[in-house]
Structure 1
Amino acid sequence: MKTIKWVILFVFVAFAYTVSAQADLMIKVTNVRSDCGKVMIATDKGQYNMVDAKGAETVLELKDVPVGKCKVYVYHDENGNYQLDKEGDVPLENCAIVDLDVKAGRKEEVNIRLVDVRKKVKK
């Protein structure tokens, strides 16, 4: 009976740790086209942030990102309208989508390079 109690306690603690485990991410965004507008970032887990664009490279922080796999969406909102402008399905502003595997208990540094999707579509 004692063994069952210990197993249940272990499972409960492990579950609680995985549910609450989080990390902070420092995101360095490169290939920002200009100093105009903002660089916007969000995860599929609900974290988001934005900063003023300051040249070709910008750093953002995402706090309390749950441990595990997540997608990070970044774009340079050059005209400041808080939307990713598109022509049809093709983004007009430089953007990126990155898959991450977030580890617990440490501040991770991630580099993300924005791309001009229009150039890739024309190829």
Structure 2
Amino acid sequence: MKTLFTSIIVLFISIAMNAQETFTLKVTVNNAKDDQGKMVYSLSTQNQFMKAAPLQSASVEIKDGVAVATFENVPIGDYAVMVLHDKNGNNQMDFSEQGMPTEAYGMSNNPMSYGPPTWEDAKITVDSDKEITVRL
């Protein structure tokens, strides 16, 4: 009986230690030039950033230049958020013949750079419920 009781206690401690705390990340864009199309959001880890499918994504209606996406159950860690104003609804960034984006986009931390954003510029740490604003 004592062995069974000890085994149950060890099992509960093991489950509690392996339970991963998660948080909510709310991302607001409040400077869309118009309400045409949708705002497409992606939440990525470093390994996914600009290379692979994101950890989570969302597509949100724009109203009066504002769109808000909420990512839930986000484990503690470093992430980057990318937002695209997808005016034509094709769920991808469109480019001109010269290779420049033709639709507005933004990243977490709002880096201002010429060329593609870097992970270090866009990285945010989620270790509590968080709200950020991304500028396009």
- Shared fold per TM-score greater than 0.5: yes
Q: Are 1:75 and 2:84 counterparts?
A: yes
Uncovered stretches (5+) of structure 1, i.e. residues with no partner: 1-8, 115-123
Deviations 1:19-42 (A, max 9, x none): x22211111112212111000001
Q: Are 1:109 and 2:131 counterparts?
A: yes
Contact 2:81 2:107 in 1 (8 A): yes
**Bigger helix share:** 1
**TM-aligned CA distance change 1:43 to 1:89, over 3 Å:** farther
CA distance in 2, matches of 1:86, 1:31: 21
Q: Are 1:66 and 2:75 counterparts?
A: yes
Counterpart of 2:103 (choices 73, 86, 93) is 93
Q: TM-score, normalised by structure 1?
A: 0.70
Instruction: Name the stretch that deviates more: 86-95 or 20-29.
Output: 86-95
Instruction: Name the stretch that deviates more: 85-94 or 58-67.
Output: 85-94
| Percent identity of equivalent pairs | 28
Tell me which amino acid in the other structure corresponds to 1:68: G
Could you list the structure 1 runs, at least 4 aligned residues long, displaced by more than 3 angstroms after superposition. Answer: none
CA distance in 1, matches of 2:86, 2:130: 25
CA distance in 2, matches of 1:55, 1:21: 35
Aligned to 2:5: none
Contact 1:40 1:49 in 2 (8 A): yes
Contact 1:47 1:63 in 2 (8 A): no
Question: After the TM superposition, which residues 6-85 of structure 1 pair with which residues of structure 2 at under 5 Å, given as runs?
Answer: 13=17, 16-17=18-19, 20-45=20-45, 46-85=55-94
Tell me which amino acid in the other structure corresponds to 1:31: N
CA distance in 2, matches of 1:74, 1:67: 21
Across the aligned residues of Structure 1 and Structure 2, the Cα RMSD in angstroms comes to 2.2
CA distance in 2, matches of 1:30, 1:113: 7
Q: TM-score, normalised by structure 2?
A: 0.64
